[in-house]
A = this chain, B = another copy of it.
Amino acid sequence: MPLNILIAGVGLIGGSLGLALKGSSSVNKIIGVDSDLEALKKAEELGAIDCYTSLSEGAKQADIIILCTPVNTFASIIDEIMDLLRPGTIITDTGSTKEKAMNTFAKLPDYVYVIGGHPMAGGEAIGIINADKYLFENAVYVLTPAANTPSDIINQLKAVLSVIGARFMIMEPRYHDEIVAVISHIPHLLSAALVNLTNADRDKLSMAAGGFRDTTRIASSNPKLWQQILFSNRESVIKYLDQLIISLNEYRDMLDNHDEQQLFEQLKRAQETRNSIPYMRKGLMPGFSDIICIVPDRPGIIGELGNILGEKHINIVDLEILHVREGDGGTIRIGVPTYENACQAVDELKEHGIKAWRR
């Protein structure tokens, strides 16, 4: 029987979930709830929700409740709805940390089912205006079911969410929180510390090249949101921040003591680990082969490249403009699905007078 889905919080994540679930045969209707009426209207207009109502009214009608609000709102939401829920209601969330959320959900009556959730998607863009039905495609989506949640209920939630195209992983809340501390929360802190190390000095910023820009891109994220995320996972963040500070002190001492070999070994280990990431992700993202080409700077040149490769049925899966020269040209990196595509693409581009080579 198609289910009523309540989405609490129709921002980027809630709105994108609504767009992705819309039209699924397992969904009866999608109800939106938000403290921001304008966001609800926009979500309805975009088709991310079928209707909107109050939190308590929505909670009474819901078969599945998805909390997409900031993690520090969960406690008050649970207090408001816990006595209104029908037996068998599934409660899940999309918060970036799981242990604290699961502790909050523990007070719910035992006739509702708790399954924590964390879709690893989204970026600097926020709000319903940036919602994208494809946001979760190929993304890792962690589920942290409560100990007493039956596996057929977990499977039911996975079945409903399957249309969003994510790759589900079941894990313990604490284990999840340690992983995201390392791969997401610590990088944010580091990125902020690195930007602040410049002291906003004009000479330093104006000389900042690609490496600095990449390393600090996430420092542009919403500071309020990240303050909340960091504090919601403070134990794991502190644990790994301590480890990182120890490593940085070791690197410092290697420099101070002229331990060239030891520092080399750390850099080498990092290089090897970093290079292993794309291969480990093969199941998630298609692997691809890179080519580089040099093109003149004029309107439509990227269209021409696309046409040359499109005619030969070579799909562009990635494209990055490496250097731009106003009025002159640019160096472009193009990712294509296979090595064979890359060889063929280089030949085709050369035949059209474009300097190209495999990287």
A324 at the B interface (CB under 8 A): yes
| Interface check A1, CB cutoff 8 A | no
Closest to A283 in B: B206
A7 to chain B, nearest CB (A): 21
A277: Cβ under 8 A from any B Cβ: yes
Contact across chains for A357 and B266 when beta carbons are under 8 A apart: no
A303 — which chain B residues lie within 8 A by C-beta?
Answer: 302-310
A223 close to chain B: CB less than 8 A: yes
A326 contact from B219, B286, B297, B318, Cβ within 8 A? B286
- Of B187, B241, B280, B323, which one neighbours A211 at CB under 8 angstroms? B187
Query: Given A197-B247, A230-B255, is A264 in contact with B315 using a C-beta cutoff of 8 Å?
Result: no
Name which of A135, A184, A227, A304 has the most chain B CB atoms within 10 A of its CB: A227
Whole-angstrom CA separation of A272 from B184 in the bound complex: 20
> Closest B-chain residue to A256, C-beta based?
B238
A264 near B196 (CB under 8 angstroms)? no
With the chains together, A292 CA to B130 CA distance in Å?
Answer: 9
Asked whether, in the complex, the Cβ of A321 is within 8 Å of the Cβ of B311, the reply is no
A245 and B252 contacting across the interface, CB-CB below 8 Å: yes
Bound: A314/B300 CA distance, A: 8
Q: In the complex, are the beta carbons of B251 and A248 less than 8 A apart?
A: no
Q: Determine if B214 and A215 form an interchain contact, defined as CB atoms under 8 angstroms apart.
A: yes
For A305, list chain B residues within 8 Å (CB).
302-303, 306
Known: A211-B218, A216-B274, A271-B220. A197 touches B205 (CB 8 A): no
Contact of A241 among B219, B252, B302, B325 (CB under 8 A): B252
Would B294 and A315 count as touching, CB distance under 8 A? no
Give how many copies assemble into the complex: 2
Q: How large is the interface on A (under 10, 10 to 19, 20 to 34, 35 or more residues)?
A: 35 or more
Complex contact B123–A324 (CB within 8 A): no
Is A37 in contact with chain B by the CB < 8 A criterion? no
How many angstroms between the C-alpha atoms of A269 and B199 in the bound complex? Answer: 9
A111 at the interface (CB under 8 A from B): no
Q: How far is the CA of A184 from the CA of B357 in the complex (A)?
A: 28
A152 at the B interface (CB under 8 A): no
Residues on the B chain within 8 Å of A219, using CB: 267, 270-271, 273-274
Does A38 count as interface, using CB distance less than 8 angstroms?
A: no
Among B207, B272, B317, which residue has its beta carbon within 8 angstroms of that of A120?
B207
Point out the residues of chain B lying under 8 angstroms from A204, CB to CB. Answer: 179, 182-183
A306: contacting residue among B186, B304, B359, CB under 8 A: B304
Cross-chain pairs A/B with CB under 8 angstroms, 7 sampled: A135-B331, A195-B270, A205-B276, A223-B271, A237-B255, A306-B306, A319-B319
